[in-house]
Chains A and B, each alone.
Chain A
Amino acid sequence: MSPSLASAIGSWSAPNDSVERHFHDMVVQGKRYLCDQKLAKQQAEGGGEVLAELEQWGLVWDRNQEGKIALFPSSKMFPGVSDQDRWITFGRRGTSAVGPFWTGHGIVDILRDEVNRLHVPYMQEVVISKILLYNGTVCGAVGYDYLNAQTILFKCKALVLATGDASQVYYPHCMVSKESTGDGFALAYDAGATLVDMEQFEYLALMNAYPDSARGKAVLETPLESGEMAYLRNAEGKRFMQHYHKAEELAPQEDVAKAIYAEVKAGRGGPHGGCFLDLRHIPRDVVEQAAPSRLEHMERLGYDISRDLIEVYPVVHTTTGGVRINERCETEIPGLYAAGQLAFAVNDCLGEGATGIVDAVFRGKISGANAAQFAKAKAQYNPKDQDVRTAVGQIMTPLHANDGPTPLSVIRKLQHVMWENVSIIKNESGLIKALDEICAIRDSLAPRVATRTKGGRFNLEMLESIELRHMIICAEATTRSSLARKESRNRFHRSDYPEQDDKEWLKHILVRKTEQGMAVTLEPVDFPYLKPEMA
């Protein structure tokens, strides 16, 4: 919903920053070479322009006392991950003084104003369940409007997927919004597009462990965000990071996440399955100065940071694999475009710091422009009646079914399987177990799903039954890809293959739909610009 930081090159950049360094950091620090270098280069070169453009629409980047765009060293935000500082910035809409971490919100606001101003027609509370093809080219989509309880047939010549993340498959161990159920990944896969490196996720460590509605939401994103370094303690009250990493609390987020996970598994966790964040040694006004909205969130939950420890645990931050696209944001399906978190581009790489927000606006612009151009040049094909009937039937089946499990109960089961076996630390036996359970959910539970609420507007069970189908595809793709990758790289960790293996595994893992089901293939990573030493 609201990424906060933006890292890109422009006339405001620090003197030692450059397109080359930005590109290098994305590919090497951020992705450990597991990315499409052509897309990274395109973003390093073009991202800054889009940030400048956002300012024209009314987004105000934070300024320093000289009136220049204020820059923050990335080491302040993401300690321990980069050799050198890169520079990131915050933005907001208008002059409202709400503190940092409202950049994403500001962008949403100004874009919505523009959509309204230009009278761009849009529909809300509609979920797409199927992309329709005619001879392999996009000709429409079928969706369900759960606000008004009706199925909808869209006819179109081009379609841009921008549905965000898939990490709701880990709820409540995720920080993303409720609707990040991987719809776009599943729709693209179903239409025949390729999913790349679906095993790759990012983790954040310092998230609320309870209550449920705040689970997975950031107490802090990094231990330095509170102005001075916050400490982590286990249930015995002892600091433990020194046993896991020489940088202690300032270790990369995935190492902090692994350490908390390990402490909890060793029986030294708190009552809600987390460890404890300690800010008692930091004066309240220091925290207020550094992170006002974080402090407000803590105090709103009733914490007095001078007295209380806050139970935190690690969660999934974002999906970083995605739908394969090229520099024009085209997938392999003519007329189908993808942008943002679901596209396999640079995404949100914490290691490099703050590329996600730039990726979203940059690819959003490119995909829209190219999709419009494509549509202008093409004729509209009519969707086949049979395809439409099948898609509508699939939407309506849970409504007419009786006695089956509720969609939400099956979603909860799937989420449990994913977090228990396919999360921070994985191994072969856990992954095989998970795959068996996912296939059982796919084949015997999901087809029998029945809504308890029959008909009516805003029947959330109808939405959930569609989201369930999408989440199953994402879960299966992630699990199969995790099984295939026999190494540990970046935030992907296999306890049975703990080392990064550049000799064997500078490879993408591709997932495609075939008549026999989901097929996994390997593809060597292409190095058009930067080559790792071993390759």
Chain B
Amino acid sequence: MTQMERKIKVTVLRTNPETNMKPVKVTYEIPWQDRMRVMDALNYIREYYDSSLAFRFSCRYYAKCGTCAAMVNGKPVLTCYEEAKDGMLVEPLANFPVVRDLVIDRLEWDSRVSQDLKGLTGPSMKNHNGER
């Protein structure tokens, strides 16, 4: 926040299935910071404007855990890794049911993975003890 008062506009598709309301686009004005990521904008919204904004993240800028994935301007990205841009639109990942805001429901996906692995037998590789 060392940059002089520069602000960016960020629009987030907010969904709360519990109230049966249609998803709404909400635009927030956020102080720009140098080299800012999309996740910085989301965290700013939650900390200073609306603590009910729901999104997942875990490892932050390691781009390893994948939990922060979302659509930014129509493309699936890791929000920790993607540069924040003025006027960007942040939406939940496509093709998943939405739990709330940017949080998607992975349950069906996970069970499908589990189902696919069924029948594969035990440890598949021999222990070659470094002698291969």
Q: A11-B130, A113-B117, A116-B117 are in contact. Are A214 and B51 (CB under 8 A)?
A: no
One of A255-263, A297-305, A344-352, A357-365 at the interface: A297-305
Residue of B nearest to A172 (CB): B60
Give Cα A502 to B57, complex, Å. 43
A211 engages B34 (CB within 8 Å): yes
CB distance from B33 to the nearest CB of A (A): 5
Q: Given A2-B64, A179-B58, do A52 and B114 touch, yes or no (CB 8 Å)?
A: no
Question: Bound state CA distance, A355 and B97, in angstroms?
Answer: 41
Q: Does A58 contact B (CB under 8 A)?
A: yes
Residue B95 is within 8 A (CB to CB) of chain A in the complex:
no
Set of chain B residues within 8 Å of A58, measured between Cβ atoms: 123-125
Beyond A117-B117, A408-B47, whether A214 also contacts B61 by CB under 8 A is yes
Q: Which residues of A contact B99 (CB under 8 A)?
A: 147, 457-458
For chain B, residues 23 to 56, give those with C-beta under 8 angstroms from any C-beta of chain A: 33-37, 39-40, 43, 46-47, 51-52, 54
Query: Is the CB–CB distance between A105 and B64 below 8 Å?
Result: yes
Contact in complex: B130, A1 (CB < 8 Å): no
Of the candidates A61, A63, A117, A458, which one forms a contact with B100 in the assembled complex, judged by CB atoms under 8 Å apart?
A458
Is B40 a contact partner of A211 (Cβ separation < 8 A)? yes
Are the C-beta atoms of A177 and B123 separated by less than 8 Å? no
Q: A57-B123, A214-B61 are in contact. Are A453 and B33 (CB under 8 A)?
A: no
Other-chain contact of B126, A56, A67, A271 (Cβ < 8 Å): A56
The answer to whether A460 and B126 touch across the interface, beta carbons within 8 angstroms, is: no
Is there contact, CB below 8 Å, between A458 and B54?
yes
Q: Give the residues in chain A near B52, CB-CB below 8 Å.
A: 452-453, 456, 459, 461
How far, in Å, is B34 (CB) from chain A's closest CB?
6
A271 touches B100 (CB 8 A): no
Q: Is the interface of A mostly helix, strand, loop or mixed?
A: loop
A177 touches B65 (CB 8 A): yes
Interface pair A177/B37, CB less than 8 Å apart: no
Task: Check B18–A456 contact: CB distance below 8 A.
Answer: yes
Q: Given known contacts A211-B40, A213-B80, A460-B46, is B131 in contact with A11 (CB within 8 Å)?
A: yes
A178–B43 alpha-carbon span in the complex (Å)? 12
Q: Is B4 an interface residue (CB 8 A)?
A: no
A90 to chain B, nearest CB (A): 14
A211-B35, A300-B81 known; A52-B100 Cβ under 8 A: no
Instruction: With both chains docked as a complex, state the minimum distance between the C-beta of B84 and any C-beta of chain A, in angstroms.
Output: 9
**Contact residues in B for A430 (Cβ distance below 8 Å):** none
Q: A117-B117, A213-B60 are in contact. Are A55 and B51 (CB under 8 A)?
A: no
* Known A213-B37, A302-B35, A461-B51; contact A297-B100, beta-carbon cutoff 8 A: no
Cβ contact of A56, chosen from B34, B60, B123, cutoff 8 A = B123
A272: Cβ under 8 A from any B Cβ: yes
Contact residues in B for A68 (Cβ distance below 8 Å):
130-131
Give the size category of B's interface with A. 35 or more
Residues of A within 8 A of B16 (CB): 456
Chain A, interface size category, equals: 35 or more
Rounded to whole Å, the gap between the CB of B67 and the closest CB of chain A is: 9
Min CB distance A402 to B, Å, is 14
The yes or no answer to B120 lying at the interface (CB within 8 A) is: yes
Any chain A CB within 8 A of the CB of B94? no
> B127 near A: Cβ within 8 Å?
yes
In the assembled complex, the Cα of A116 lies from the Cα of B54 at a distance in Å of 27
> A40-55 toward B: CB 8 Å interface, digit per residue (1/0)?
0000000000001101
Q: Complex Cα distance A69/B129, Å?
A: 9
Q: How far is the CA of A456 from the CA of B40 in the complex (A)?
A: 24
Does any Cβ of B come within 8 Å of A212's Cβ?
A: yes
A212–B33 CB distance below 8 A: yes
Q: Does B22 contact A (CB under 8 A)?
A: no
- B21, CB-defined interface residue at 8 Å: no
Q: Does B70 contact A (CB under 8 A)?
A: no
How far does the alpha carbon of A31 sit from the alpha carbon of B47 in the complex, in Å? 39
What chain B residues lie within 8 Å of A74 (beta carbons)? none
Beta-carbon contact of A2 and B125 below 8 Å? no
Which single member of B59, B65, B113, B127 contacts A53 (CB below 8 Å)?
A: B127
Chain B: minimal CB distance from A343 (Å): 21
In the bound complex, CA of A86 to CA of B46 (Å): 46
A116:B113 contact, CB within 8 angstroms: yes
Bound-state Cα–Cα, A461 to B114, Å: 31
Report yes or no: B58 in contact with A177, Cβ–Cβ below 8 A: yes
Contact of A119 with B by CB under 8 A: yes
Q: Which residues of B contact A (CB under 8 A)?
A: 2, 16, 18, 33-37, 39-40, 43, 46-47, 51-52, 54, 57-65, 80-81, 83, 99-101, 103, 110, 113-114, 117-118, 120, 123-132
